[in-house]
Amino acid sequence: MQLEINVVDAFTDTIFKGNSAAVIITENWLSDDLMQSIAFENNLSETAFIIADDKGIYHIRWFSPFTEIAFCGHATLASAFVLFNKNPHLECIKFSAKAVGILTIVQTDDGKIQMDFPNTKPEKVNNIPDSLLAGLSIAPVEVYKNTQAYFVVYNAESDVLTVARDNERLKQLAPLDVVVTCQAKSADYKNYDFISRYFWPANGGDEDPVTGSVHTGLAPLWAERLGKNHLVAYQASRRGGVLDCVVADDRVFISGHAVKYMTGFITIEES
């Protein structure tokens, strides 16, 4: 059995930046074990698997090297990028995923891909878990939480950029991950409204380069704090990535560029 695989750098227009995702399109679902094994072998933040139904809906599942993920933004962007390039006539793509329902994806006039996601605004946490406090070298100013992660708010960009973490401590927060964030204020980040970094030792690895899904919580959080609904975010990982975010009631529209790194084939011996 041969499977075509595309590897795409998402939330960037520059190769070797952003967050890489693998995209595999099949006629029928592979077994869960095989999809997990492929994701482990790829060793990327996510591998997305897609099948199309007879109504033109694309059903999508996301796997980290460790486990199946309920919702992944950058691999959705990568998947849409692959489908738009394979089908230039497509004006809109509808993905279906168990945890988030129908996701509508379009291409914008400036060449970005815009994704329509649920609003997952986090709620403030008054009793901060000891594992979170012990797992970060810099104490939070405030902490929020949604179904994906703890949101640690800092006052200074230097805190976000230099905070050290104890992954063994942060793993104790499973199934939740940790995002650290602050308002962008300095000249270095003058083009952005807020910055962040995302740590996910419980579900995928050490630090995720760019995390689309967590911005469905970050964007509403900062929209309220800054009094604006259109925000530009920068995820300040080593690779870095830019996300345009628009908060509209119960939806968050996240847009970004993508660039192809590789197309190839996986050969699997059938037993």
Q: What residues act catalytically?
A: 46
For residue 250, the cross-strand partners are none
Amino acid of residue 220: P
Rounded CA-CA distance 219/194 in Å is 9
For residues 261, 240, 83, 48, the Cα torsion angle rounded to the nearest 10 degrees is 90
Locus of tokens 């075509």: 4
Exposure of 19 by Cβ count < 10 A (0-12 exposed, 13-18 middle, 19+ buried)?
A: buried
Cα separation, 4 vs 247, in Å, equals 36
C-alpha to C-alpha distance for 74 and 44, rounded to whole angstroms:
11
The answer to whether the beta carbons of residues 212 and 112 sit under 8 Å apart is no
Cα 19 from Cα 73, distance rounded (Å): 10
- Contact at 8 Å (CB) between 51 and 63? no
CA–CA gap between residue 245 and residue 229 (Å, rounded): 8
In total, the chain counts a number of residues equal to 271
Cα–Cα distance for residue pair 26/129, rounded to 1 Å: 42
Q: Are 21 and 33 in contact (CB under 8 A)?
A: no
Which residue from 215, 201, 202 is spatially nearest to 244, judged by alpha carbons? Answer: 215
